[in-house]
Amino acid sequence: MTPDHAQLSDEPVRLVRRRARDEPSESDLGDSFGGREEVLDAGTAVVRRPSRWIIAAAVVVVLVATTGWYVDRQERAREMRALEGCRRQLHDAVVFADLRLMSMADYLAPALSVTSGTRRARLMDDMGVAARSALGDVERADRGCRAVSIRPWHFALTSQHQAETAYSGALTARLRAVADRGSSYYRDSTSLQRLRDGADIHIPGGPF
């Protein structure tokens, strides 16, 4: 071993670098940036949970919407039943009026074809009597249809209700005219039958 090798050792040696006068030290750098811990804290995300009031408000909104939907569904079902009852009542009134007055017209037809003047007027009075016997049922059906209440946002039911009341009102007016003057029975009833079809009351034959 040479003398130079004997003087060396395995221990690491840190060489001290001479710092320039205007160069900041490590401690100064740490103070200026707030230290390692402050840098880590600045990068930590803060998770905010919704407040209890927001959650409670959302639950109340859902409950109110669900309740409103259920109530509206029940109300719509009630309106449908009421309209169906109105249509049945109208149907029965029309059937009775048709049969009553058609049978009277058939009975009077032979005499009407050969008479005129006062005799014919008396025969028309018999037609008026028959109309008055059917008028009560028609008027009750008309009042029942008009008493039905429909929510304005139930558009299909509103249209159906309007069709039924239009027909029931026209039918009442026509039967009153026949009751006052029996000859009104023989007037053209195309418009009345068109209203009957619109009200979804399909009865073959008859003027009403």
| Helical (H) or strand (E) element with 84 | helix 52-112
What is the secondary structure of 4-67 as a DSSP string? HHHT--SS--PPPPPPPTTSPPHHHHHHHTTHHHHHHHHTPPPPPPPPHHHHHHHHHHHHHHHH
**Residue 6 is assigned to a structural domain of this protein:** no
What domain range includes position 142? 75-198
In a domain, 124, yes or no: yes
Cα 156 from Cα 154, distance rounded (Å): 6
pLDDT at 167 over 60: yes
What percent of the chain stands above pLDDT 70? 77
Residues 164-182, mean pLDDT to the nearest whole number: 94
What dihedral angle (degrees, nearest 10) is formed by the CA atoms of 40, 42, 45, 50?
A: 140
Question: Is the pLDDT assigned to residue 141 strictly greater than 90?
Answer: yes
Grade residue 57 by pLDDT with cuts at 50, 70 and 90. confident
Q: Which pTM value belongs to this model?
A: 0.68
- Look at residue 36 and tell me if it is in a domain: no
Report if residue 134 sits inside a domain.
Answer: yes
Mean pLDDT of the chain: 81
For 74-100, write each residue's pLDDT tens digit. Answer: 898 999 999 999 999 999 999 999 999
Please, what is the angle between helix 155-180 and helix 52-112, to 10°? Answer: 30
pLDDT for 40: 47
Is 108 part of a structural domain of the chain?
yes
Domain count, the chain: 1
**Per the structure block, which two tokens stand in for 124?**
């028309």
CA distance 169 to 175: 10
